[in-house]
Amino acid sequence: MVREGDLVAIFNSIHRVMKAEKILKERRLNILLIPAPRSLQSDCGLAIRYAEADREVVEGALSEADLLPEERYRKTGEEYVRVAEREAPSVEVER
């Protein structure tokens, strides 16, 4: 179900994860709604799995919809390693 290197997005409610799935599927993105892995805490019991190659477009779509996940993990071997959010590029402001 979750392949090596895949990302797993954890949301804080069933409503948010279902809304996220709907938005991502409407855009025909390669995601899968899965039961949250037992080793990860999830209030709603569901998560969204996606590939690292799709990370930018998936997280961009979620950001546009104000639905970024509470936490993200990458499957590494038998473990899930928490992934930090990507930082937005810094913008210099001229005064």
Could you report the per-residue pLDDT of 29-85, keeping only the tens digit for each? 999 999 999 999 877 899 999 999 999 999 999 999 999 999 999 999 999 999 987
Query: Could you give the number of structural domains in the chain?
Result: 1
Are 35 and 8 in contact, with CB atoms under 8 Å apart?
A: no
How confident is the model at residue 1, as a pLDDT? 82
61 belongs to a structural domain: yes
Model pLDDT, residue 94: 54
Q: Round the CA-based radius of gyration of the chain to a whole number and report it.
A: 14
**CA 61, CA 17: separation in Å to the nearest integer?**
13
* CATH number of the domain to which 41 belongs: 3.30.70
Question: Is 2 inside a domain boundary?
Answer: no
In a domain, 90, yes or no: no
* Structural domain contains residue 56: yes
> Which structural domain, as residue segments, surrounds residue 31?
7-82
pTM for the whole structure? 0.84
* pLDDT confidence of residue 86: 58
